[in-house]
Amino acid sequence: MTEETPTEIFLPPSFPYPIKISSVDAPASSTVQRGARLLSYSFQSTPQGGRPETRFGTWDCAVDGDIQAWNAQAGDTITAAQARDRPIVVMQEPCKHGMQLGGLCVLCGKDMTNSDYIGFSDTSRASIQMTHSANGPTVSLEEAQRIERETAERLVGARKLSLIVDLDQTIVHATVDPTVGEWITEGEAWEEKHRESNGNGVQPDDDDSDSDDEECNPNWEALKDVKKFKLGPESFGAPYEVKGKGKSIEQDGCMYYIKPRPGWETFLQGVAAKYEMHVYTMGTRAYAEQVCAAIDPDGKLFGGRLLSRDESGSLTQKSLQRLFPCDTSMVVIIDDRGDVWEWSPNLIKVVPYDFFVGIGDINSAFLPKAPTSNLPPSSTQALITQNSMALEAQVEGRPLAKMQEQLADSDDTAKEKEVSPTQDPKQPSHHKKALLKSQDNELERVAKLLDEVHQRFFDAHDASSSNKRKRGEDERDVTKIIPSIRCKVLQGVHIVFSSLFPMDTKPESSEVWKMARTFGAKCSAELVDGVTHVVAAKPGTDKVNHGAKRPGVKVVWAQWLTDCITLWRRLDEAPYLMDPGVDRESVLTHGVVVRDKDKHHHEAGNELEIGEIDWNDINDEVDAAMNESDDDEDEDAQGDGYRYRVWDPDDERYVELCSAPGTPRKRTRSRSATPSMPVDGGSPESKKRKLEGSMLKEAVSAMDVEEEEEESDEEEEEDVEVDDDFLAKELEEDWG
């Protein structure tokens, strides 16, 4: 055991200051035990309605140890300020009990639960929990600083940083819809049948079976790497009562299907060489352990460093201090949610992964719609029940099967319209279309950002170590490196906004203004010299018209800004230009971005994803919200289900799908697709086709803009700015 540092002891703040020391009862170099008298003092007290009188008191020691020095002597008068700023005595303790477990000191074995008249609890000396276990040891601030210092030295020696990794919709996407299991079974059976046929020398073409029954499930190719596991009823809360049902997932358990994000193996293995990774998830411990077992079976990547909602201390928020209570200068976070981290400067936000269309986050019931304080303890069971009901709705409603049927019905209807009267009806039927598409390269983008953060940190470290640069010490901090990378995204861009906030609001206080500044852009309220972009939500305004006439000024839809913010990269403005001669529906659509490597790949198949208008997730990064209503959520409802528009690459049109009735809409998370390649390059026509929507869930849909224009053209002149918050209106219309 290392030698303890001296303990500085202060007078209690509850003393009737000023006090006068009458005597020092334990001289320097003496050994005292808990409860021994240290000093006596006197003070003036004035009873109600009486005269001032002198009273006396004593002060007893709260710890064991040797007195090294006194900072006061008999006759000294101590004020409240002096007692607060200066220790009265310095002692050397044999043990400070800086690490405790189960009510015992880990270092000396003393019982920490004993209490007496002194009122000082030894358990309060080690209250910091920084391990990944809920029942792990707690430590003191001094011990936490020592542990983090040793960890930092170890990581720097290995040239690594710490990385906190979220699971759901960052690395994997999960669902409990049993349709997925049925599709996997169909695909496996189809492959087994064809293997047997090939083994018997029978070729598929020789078999006169061209019926739909012989066709492989169209989703099988994307489901081949899906992992599955079952969680028993002990993983859920107490069963809730459901009318008309005799059982629930809390009684029988639930089968989970996990789709790893494309490129996850390369990403995690590459990151592991430069970062020590910790999993931090809103899922339960049992769920998180199963997911980690699927993507890290040998434990080489995460090494058991897993923190779930069962240990984090909060069901709705994540805390960096839970694992790193003292120093976060070497910690990076990747998560698809920024609000749960209160937009920490350590955060690199990831575009949410939506493979299972319409499912959202499997643990979304625990995620706040907007940053809020921790919910009271009484709401804990309600949250658990809400999450269980959402899972039950997926199991019973089978939303994926419903949407696959609607996609097939829509495709059949379109094909019937195309059939010629002279066409042979016995021709083979067309192939079924897949609802699920495995197209995503978000992890490649995130890996590049992580590499840049790592490179800049250790460049600063090396420069500081070799005394090449005095500022190297300050630059060894990811909380400065990450914001500096972010602010270079729109460096050199000078923006004027049009129709993005109410006229009676100061532009500087609007959320979109603050976000643009956060990413390095300069903003102005009017068209002044030096303006490079007019970012608008609708055409025909005074700023749009004047900006279009200025040389060097680009008038773009608001999605250009939001997509730049999402990708942390300045995008080519060409696909976003507000051209009166171009139909916006052909350029900007309902929140879907598919960037393929070439035109032919684009025509072969596109990613089917869901996008909804929701500026909050971006705006909350600057600690503000758009004040939308949490209750107005159901305009997209169709009966008990919800409508989704997805792009059909074969028919080059949009198909409207509905989720299963009874499936809760994910109020807490609006999702968007992930890009497959940059927008830049190619002909104008190819750019229009590549940009089928916005990367951001905050994207403004073309249909909504056109409807808004039709309604507003009769009420106001084209050269007058809107007098209300355009984006807030769009959000309300979309959510009801």
What is the 8-class DSSP label of residue 55? E
Q: Is the bond into 18 cis (omega within 30 degrees of 0)? A: yes
How many C-beta atoms surround the C-beta of residue 683 within 10 A? Answer: 9
DSSP 600-631: HHHHH----------THHHHGGGT------SS
List, in order, residues 6 or more apart from 429 with CB less than 8 Å away: 210, 211, 212
Helix, strand, coil proportions of the chain in percent (round to 5)?
35, 15, 50
43, 361, 555 from 55: Cα distances, Å: 5, 65, 79
Calculate the alpha carbon distances from 693 to 82, 632, 640 in Å: 65, 24, 27
- In the numeric block, the tokens 């170590």 are attached to 465
Query: Active-site residue among 122, 166, 563, 614?
Result: 166
Q: Please tell me the total number of residues recorded for the chain in this structure.
A: 736
Choosing from 66, 76, 168, 424, the catalytic residue is: 168
Contact assessment for residue 537 and residue 498, using Cβ atoms and an 8 Å cutoff: yes
Residues in CB range of 169: below 8 A, 6 or more apart: 336, 352, 353, 354, 360, 361, 669, 671
Cβ(618)–Cβ(672) under 8 Å?
no
Q: CA-to-CA distance for 287 and 282, rounded, in angstroms? A: 10
- Find the DSSP H helices in 308-423: 309-312, 380-397, 399-418
β-pairing verdict for 306-307 and 347-349: unpaired
The answer to whether residue 680 is catalytic is no
Closest CA to 289 of 273, 263, 267, 310: 310
Name the strands in the sheet holding 522-524, side by side, starting at the edge strand that comes first in the sequence: 522-524, 494-498, 533-536, 554-557
> Is 168 a catalytic site residue?
yes
Cα separation values, 391 from 249, 260, 294, 386, Å: 8, 20, 21, 9
Distance CA 587, CA 118 (A): 73
Task: Report the catalytic residues.
Answer: 166, 168
